[in-house]
Amino acid sequence: ADKFKKENGLDYKPEQVIVNIGGKHSVYEAMQAVLDPGDEVIIGTPYWVTYPEAIKLAGAVIKVVQTNKANSYKMTPSQLEEAITDKTAMVLINSPSNPGGFTYTPEELKAIAKVLEGTNVMVLSDEIYEKLIYGDKKFVSFASLSEDAYNRTLTLNGFSKTFSMTGWRLGYTAGPLDAIKAMGRLQSHMTSNAVTFGQYAAIAALGEPAAQAIEDMRQEFERRGKYM
């Protein structure tokens, strides 16, 4: 909760945050807690391979929005508006994107948030690559855009990308209390909790000393990207 406040401008109480067994687990639990059979989930191409499988495991239906090169493969507000039906329960946003490599600008996200106002559509915002942005790109958490966005968004993050803690299996999700509580009830019967030593490692990772190591890694990735 402290990390969200300091880095993302998001005011979550501790009980609005759940620690999961990796980012995949976060995605799966969020889908299981929120979606009902027959619900539609809007997802833009290209997308990470786990998303459609987690949607299908929840009994929901994938509604793919075909993006194009002209718009850097980002879903436009008009595409989103056109895709929404009375069965739409969730839209999935992954920015910075894996495998797309793009990051939505704050203005682009605000336009998407505007389309969702007045609907019952939840947002799953996967922000696990938030620190790995390059050039003049600017990252912003979807839930921080407005009160409406905050109330409809599950914000997902983890330790595998920023901190290279892939094998430690720690992801976390924050959002509306009823959804987080539902994820907690589900997790208690699936995996109990994330291992304790991993949680202590995560506390250390979120501390100030890690900041320089993260920036060194980001600069090296940017150098390699330019080389490619």
Average pLDDT, the chain: 96
Between the alpha carbon of residue 148 and those of residues 1, 110, 114, 118, 213, the distances in Å are 19, 11, 9, 9, 35
Q: What is the pLDDT of residues 33-55, one digit of tens each?
A: 999 999 999 999 999 999 999 99
Q: Per-residue confidence at 208, pLDDT binned at 50, 70, 90?
A: confident
**pLDDT for position 207:** 84
**pLDDT for position 210:** 85
CA atoms within 13 A on the CB side of 225: 12
**pLDDT for position 191:** 93
Percent share of the chain, pLDDT over 70:
100
**pLDDT for position 209:** 78
Q: Are 160 and 154 in contact (CB under 8 A)?
A: no
pTM of the model: 0.95
Q: Give the whole-angstrom CA distance, residue 91 versus residue 93.
A: 7
Mean pLDDT of 154-168: 95
Q: What is the pLDDT of residues 66-124, one digit of tens each?
A: 999 999 999 999 999 999 999 999 999 999 999 999 999 999 999 999 999 999 999 99
**pLDDT for position 223:** 97
What tokens were used for 165? 């803690």
Beta strands in the chain (DSSP E): 17-20, 40-44, 61-65, 88-94, 122-126, 153-158, 171-174
Mean pLDDT of 204-215: 88
- Indicate whether 224 pLDDT > 90: yes
**pLDDT for position 211:** 87
Runs of H (alpha helix) within 123-168: 147-152
- Indicate whether 152 pLDDT > 90: yes
Q: Per-residue confidence at 179, pLDDT binned at 50, 70, 90?
A: very high
